[in-house]
Amino acid sequence: MKKSVKISILCEDQAKMGYMDEIFLAQHGFSAFIQAGENILFDTGATDVFISNAALLGIDLNATDLIVLSHGHWDHANGLKSLHMEGMKKKLLAHPDVFIDRHKATGEYNGMPYNQEETAENLIWSYQKTPSNFR
């Protein structure tokens, strides 16, 4: 039996939804909600834009089973600060180097402005270097 997979883009640089352009928010960064047997929040963008767009799409982010960060740049992870899950803590999967010191060639900081301890109230961090079955 084939599993169905649904991917909803919650945040990206452009909101091109035809007649709905005026209601969806867009900003630099990325976030997606993946429904594939479990609910995965993949990146959180730069702010709370992903939360507003999820609500417009009828997605309940409290139903998230796992949060995955692709990397530690601010435009993929700063939205974590806006995410307040109800109930139990959520598991977050990231590469062990997600918190390394990140600067652009110009010297401008490009990483997350917080650390694991600052998100410990809502998240259980899990680290993995290579793709595999991590459950």
Q: Is the pLDDT of residue 85 over 90?
A: no
Q: Walk me through the domains of the chain, giving residue ranges and CATH numbers.
A: 6-127 (3.60.15.10)
pLDDT in tens, 104-131: 888 888 888 777 887 777 888 888 887 7
In the block, residue with structure tokens 């939360």: 51
pLDDT in tens, 86-108: 667 889 999 888 888 778 888 88
Q: What is the mean pLDDT of residues 51-58?
A: 94
Structure tokens at 45: 């963008």
Question: For residues 99 and 6, which has the higher predicted lDDT (pLDDT)?
Answer: 6
Closest CA to 84 of 129, 108, 51: 51
Question: For residues 132 and 58, which has the higher predicted lDDT (pLDDT)?
Answer: 58
To the nearest whole percent, how much of the chain has pLDDT over 90? 43
Q: What is the tally of helices (H) and strands (E) in the chain? A: 2, 6
Q: Check: CB of residue 44 under 8 Å from CB of residue 79.
A: yes
CA-CA distance, 11 to 36, in Å (whole number)? 19
Question: For residues 79 and 113, which has the higher predicted lDDT (pLDDT)?
Answer: 79
Closest CA to 93 of 37, 36, 42, 34: 42
Residue 119 has a pLDDT of 78
Q: Check: CB of residue 74 under 8 Å from CB of residue 85.
A: no
CA-CA distance, 98 to 72, in Å (whole number)? 5
